Structure 1
């Protein structure tokens, strides 16, 4: 099960992007409605998930951030202050746990509360 399916099953409407540039374009258009950024560290093209997480936290501080990777581990300054890191492989329960911890309670979809 991938992160998209896990988040959809938890009640989120998911907007997908294949790289940092696409993700930033999606955030530019939809940032007011976006509550959570879930990104992998390794992405095709220029930039990585750490860079995307920092930019998102600086530009849109209301968006909670979760970063995942099976290879990279965050070093000093890689993650924004309130971001969460998940190592791969992960289960649906691990993702839901970290999203609950990262996202304020009032922003949890109904399915995530159960």
Structure 2
């Protein structure tokens, strides 16, 4: 698989539609094409269909369904190691063992600038959309 994606996709996962829309806007401003899911189970279905195009998973922690954001991050890290993962929460902080090494955590609320700075630092150049390369 070619490690460079011409226009990378990001998958935003949050059960709160307003927060998900805000995350989608932030990711689109960063230059990503976006996909969305309302919970971890739906996210896995999207990932199974589009995993070759997805460079980033941005997920909330607390969601309905069989997978919370920590479980989703672990599964994506195991099944699709080429996908960078950011986990965000305003209520829960990860403890030892909650997240694999290399998965980033952001506390809510966050600004677009904070998200963009994290993405610039964590994504390799070949996986960054042009606006993050500046």
TM-score normalised to structure 2 length: 0.81
Question: Is the contact made by 1:20 and 1:52 (CA closer than 8 Å) also made in structure 2?
Answer: yes
CA distance in 1, matches of 2:59, 2:121: 16
Task: Say which of 68, 78, 83 aligns to 2:103.
Answer: 83
Give the CA deviation at 1:46.
2.2
Instruction: Name the structure where strand makes up a greater proportion of residues.
Output: 2
- Runs of 4+ residues over 2 Å off in structure 1: none
In structure 1, the gaps of 5 or more residues are none
CA contact (8 A) 1:65 1:102 kept: no
Farther-moved stretch of structure 1 (89-98 vs 99-108): 99-108
Q: Does 1:9 align with 2:29?
A: yes
Query: TM-score of the superposition, structure 1-length normalised?
Result: 0.95
Q: CA RMSD, aligned part only?
A: 1.1
Unmatched tracts of structure 2, length 5 or more: 1-20
Query: Is 1:50 aligned to residue 70 of structure 2?
Result: yes
Q: Is 1:93 equivalent to 2:113 in the alignment?
A: yes
Work out which of the residue numbers 35, 38, 51 in structure 2 matches 1:18. 38
* Separation of aligned partners in 2, 1:65 and 1:6: 15
Q: 1:59 aligns with which of 61, 65, 79?
A: 79
Q: Secondary structure of 1:2's partner? A: helix
